[in-house]
Structure 1
Amino acid sequence: MSTRPARRAVLAAGLAAGATAALSGCATGGAGGRGGPAPEVPEADGKQLRGTVTVWSWDVAAKAMRRLAKDFQAKHPGTAVTVRDIGYDSAYDKITVGLKSGSGLPDVLTVEGPRMATYTGNFPRGFYDLTKPAGAHRKNFDEASWKTVVGPRGRTVALPWDIGPCGMFYRRDYFRAAGIEPGSIRTWDDYVQAGEQLRKRTGRRMLVLDTVEDSTFAMLLQQQGRHFYADGRVAVDSPEAVRAATLLKTLADRDLVDYQKGWDGLVTATKAGRAATETSAAWWMGTLLADAPELKGRFGVLPMPAFTAGGARTSNRGGSVLAVPEQSRNPGLAWAFVEFLLTSVPNQVSMLKREGLFPAFLPALADPYLSTPQEYFGGQAALKVFADLAPTTPPVEYTEDGAKASEIMFSTISGILTRDKDPREALGSAAAQIASATGRPRIAG
């Protein structure tokens, strides 16, 4: 699920037509912090499902579940599913309070994938163990999304819902004016060279970066199979991290970056045509369709450039999972609803069409709908690009200390981009800060 949930509503509309705050304060404790293993979800005979469950979610995700809950109830008479839209801005405060106090949570929780590690690390008994029932579906999810639902003890604590496979959106008209062949951009070196050619021939820049909280660095890390931690150690100064930060500084030094602040700045710059590309997730399609309809036919989609020839050409931004809290009063029915919602091709495709939720369930990516040409993208089957990339997304490690690292890394990357700091030195300093803040050892230094 994108951290900009409202943007998925516009993705759904377009397809049909053609933050860290609460988590950084988590502390081990509460009912979910008791010792011992998490309870296993009880098996439920589909013919005997009865009772009610309550689900917490927000925005279009809540809308999707309300719609499909009617089908679930029709299939299982005697059941009732109540979906509460708790709002994204307050969702994690409410979840954290519920886990710490040991009361007040629903039967099913929506959580963004990378954030699950914060909860499973701080509240090891906070969620039902779904290892046995979820095991039957393991083969139908990619490694990266499955990594987000496995707790620190190797137990499955949720099921992946939607994902944000990344590609490169590019302006066909700008590339044409600069004489750039889109298919020639296979590596980041190719991308830099194309950017210089674009700047020389058109005066335009290649991409937009946020001066305060840019997420491109994390995306480039995952492309290389890394994140902020590796084997529990601080890894923000790894060779992969230095490579990613050096790429960003190279782009900045060669005047290929248009700097903006925040989401609105990015959207405004895109509408104004201030850059030729945007490396983002599938849900960025919705932003273009809703906020820049006048640019129809001017965009195309490519895989991300690789760091080395033949290397990974995608990453992930966003995505969510569904979990059953230990506080659930009807865990068997709760799991049955999660399984119904997320392991059905028709359900997953309908959520892509109507709510813009890009499926984590791999069988859904083979549906003919994803191969449909889209007029906005010049007749290209843009969804197919992301469908092909999704299974190749590199899995990475998340921990309960992700929020602490994120805050430090935002400042670090901003310094590299706008204050000419040396990438290796800046990342080394960041690693020392994170190690001090978390008590974790470093992989280097």
Structure 2
Amino acid sequence: MPPRPRTAAALTAAALALTSVLTGCGGSGGDAGPAQNVDADQLKGTVTVWSWDVAATALQRLATDFHALHPEVTVEVVDVGYDNAEQKLSVGLKSGSGLPDLVTVETQQMQSYLGKFPKGFVDLTEAAAGYKPDMDPSKWAASSDPDGRLAALPWDSGTAGLFYRTDLFTQAGVDAAAIETWDDLIAAGTKVKDATGAKLLASDVSGGVGLVPMLMQQQGAGYFTPDGKVALDSPAALAALEIVRRLNDAGLIHNEAGWDALVRANKDGKVAAEATGVWWSGTLTTEMPELGGKFGVMPLPAVTPGGIRTASNGGSGLAIPAQAENPDAAWAFAKFALADAANQTSMMKNEGLFPAYLPALADPYFAQPQEYFGGQEIYRLFTEQTAQIPAVTYTDDNAAATEAMKAVVSGVVLNGKDPATELAAAAGQLADTTGRERA
């Protein structure tokens, strides 16, 4: 699922609420034990699931199919709303009560929960071991703790690519197939802007991290090293920040904050491209049907020639709280929904959720021409890229690292500060406040 942008005020409020919840906590326990692969005839009772938006819609639809196979089990899906989900889950983990049998967790949030509540979720490691080779490796890593214990079964991947306006590129005489690096894209974007007046892409560089995490992941790097050291000032971070600075200096960034502004900028033709997750295809087709036939997709440009041309932006998984009352049936439903090729494909067709379960990508649907994209087989492209997404390390201090990077991006891109100096200062401050070593 797409990561949902929030206003600065909402982010501040959420951070304060989460801080008050987490202060002094060591993780809520439970007695559900590790997940068990239980025979179908032993499954009974009710499974309550928390989710939101199209994810809740997908689970509600699949719940009917699951009940048909397991008449003794009823799955009740509760749409808790995106804005409430994080705080409700945090409060339940802290108090040790009030949580359902199964919860949807955003990929980028999982490590924060695992750090604060190490006993808060059922251990899926052994029960899910057979699925590991068939899952998006970046999502599996992000859903596991530092010891390799799996806490959430990966659901959807936010495999990233570059969506671009074919009409604007053609008007500017730009050959999209010739774009291989971000250097190439900056040159192409300048031609598009000169010819059409459209900037290259929309990004929040006033109060967000913008493209930086995605550009870092393309280089196999995150805010932390695999052993948890602060890597905010890595060469990959410097290279990513430099690209964003160059994009802005060239006048190619439409600086907007929030989801509605992002959609509006694309809908109104103020920008000619968007570097983002595969879920953007659903936004285009539903929010901008009038632009059908005017979009194409290519792999992300590489940071350096021959470099990786994909990353991840968004996605989620299903986790079983340790306090779950019906963990066996919850695990059975999670497997049914997420480790089944037909069900994962149905969620792509109906709800636009791109599977993290790689066998689903063999379905003919993912090779079909898409009319909206001029007949391009865009899902074939994303299928090829998903298994190549570099895995990066998230920690329970990821939120703090993100806040630190926001300040760096704003200072460097908008105020002309030296990127190496700002990154080094931010890394030092993050290390001091978290007690982590610097890489």
- TM above 0.5, yes or no, is yes
User: 5+ residue gaps in structure 1?
Assistant: 7-18
Moved more, 315-324 or 50-59: 50-59
Alignment-derived partner of residue 65 in structure 2: 71
Q: Say if 1:380 and 1:159 are closer, same or farther in 2 by CA, change over 3 A.
A: same
Q: How many residues align?
A: 429
CA distance in 2, matches of 1:291, 1:381: 20
TM-score w.r.t. structure 1 length? 0.92
CA distance in 2, matches of 1:272, 1:155: 46
CA distance in 1, matches of 2:104, 2:125: 18
Alignment-derived partner of residue 221 in structure 1: 216
AA in 2 matched with 1:195: G
Residues 105-136 of structure 1 deviation map (CA, whole Å, 9 limit, x = unaligned): 11111100121111111111111111111001
Q: Contact 2:32/2:323 (CA < 8 Å) preserved in 1?
A: no
Moved more, 209-218 or 141-150: 209-218
1:262 alignment partner, one of 258, 261, 272: 258
Alignment-derived partner of residue 10 in structure 1: none
CA distance in 2, matches of 1:317, 1:117: 16
CA distance in 2, matches of 1:420, 1:109: 43
Q: Say if 1:330 and 1:305 are closer, same or farther in 2 by CA, change over 3 A.
A: same
Alignment-derived partner of residue 321 in structure 1: 317
Residues 119-157 of structure 1 deviation map (CA, whole Å, 9 limit, x = unaligned): 111111111111111001111112101112211222111
Q: Contact 2:207/2:407 (CA < 8 Å) preserved in 1?
A: yes
Q: Does 1:358 align with 2:354?
A: yes
Alignment-derived partner of residue 282 in structure 1: 278
AA in 2 matched with 1:131: T
AA in 2 matched with 1:260: E
Q: Say if 1:228 and 1:94 are closer, same or farther in 2 by CA, change over 3 A.
A: same
TM-score w.r.t. structure 2 length? 0.93
CA distance in 2, matches of 1:59, 1:123: 26
Q: Contact 2:199/2:252 (CA < 8 Å) preserved in 1?
A: yes
CA distance in 2, matches of 1:69, 1:387: 27
Aligned-pair Cα RMSD in Å: 2.0
Shift of 1:30: 5.8
Q: Contact 2:254/2:271 (CA < 8 Å) preserved in 1?
A: yes
CA distance in 2, matches of 1:283, 1:103: 34
SS of the residue corresponding to residue 73 of structure 1 reads helix
Q: Contact 1:212/1:262 (CA < 8 Å) preserved in 2?
A: no
CA distance in 2, matches of 1:165, 1:28: 36
| Matched-pair identity in % | 49
2:173 alignment partner, one of 179, 182, 196: 179
Shift of 1:160: 0.2
Shift of 1:262: 2.1
Residues 304-352 of structure 1 deviation map (CA, whole Å, 9 limit, x = unaligned): 0011222110111111111111101121111111111111111111111
Alignment-derived partner of residue 165 in structure 1: 159
Q: Does 1:307 align with 2:284?
A: no
Please list, as runs of the form range in 1=range in 2, the aligned pairs for 1:173-252 lying within 5 A after superposition.
173-210=167-204, 211-230=206-225, 231-252=227-248
CA distance in 2, matches of 1:28, 1:342: 34
SS of the residue corresponding to residue 314 of structure 2 reads strand
Please list, as runs of the form range in 1=range in 2, the aligned pairs for 1:2-151 lying within 5 A after superposition.
2-4=2-4, 21=15, 22-25=17-20, 26-27=22-23, 29=25, 32=28, 39-151=33-145
AA in 1 matched with 2:82: Y
AA in 1 matched with 2:217: Q
CA distance in 2, matches of 1:63, 1:292: 22
AA in 2 matched with 1:256: L
AA in 2 matched with 1:236: L
Q: Does 1:424 align with 2:420?
A: yes
Shift of 1:203: 4.1
Shift of 1:205: 2.4
SS of the residue corresponding to residue 3 of structure 2 reads coil
User: 5+ residue gaps in structure 2?
Assistant: none
Q: Say if 1:356 and 1:203 are closer, same or farther in 2 by CA, change over 3 A.
A: closer
Q: Say if 1:228 and 1:384 are closer, same or farther in 2 by CA, change over 3 A.
A: same
Shift of 1:163: 1.2
CA distance in 2, matches of 1:70, 1:199: 50
Q: Contact 1:131/1:157 (CA < 8 Å) preserved in 2?
A: yes
AA in 1 matched with 2:406: F
AA in 1 matched with 2:210: S
AA in 2 matched with 1:100: K
Moved more, 124-133 or 264-273: 264-273
Q: Contact 1:38/1:124 (CA < 8 Å) preserved in 2?
A: no
Alignment-derived partner of residue 376 in structure 2: 380
Shift of 1:60: 1.3
CA distance in 2, matches of 1:423, 1:71: 53
AA in 1 matched with 2:321: P
Residues 222-276 of structure 1 deviation map (CA, whole Å, 9 limit, x = unaligned): 1111111112111111000000001111111222222223222222211221222
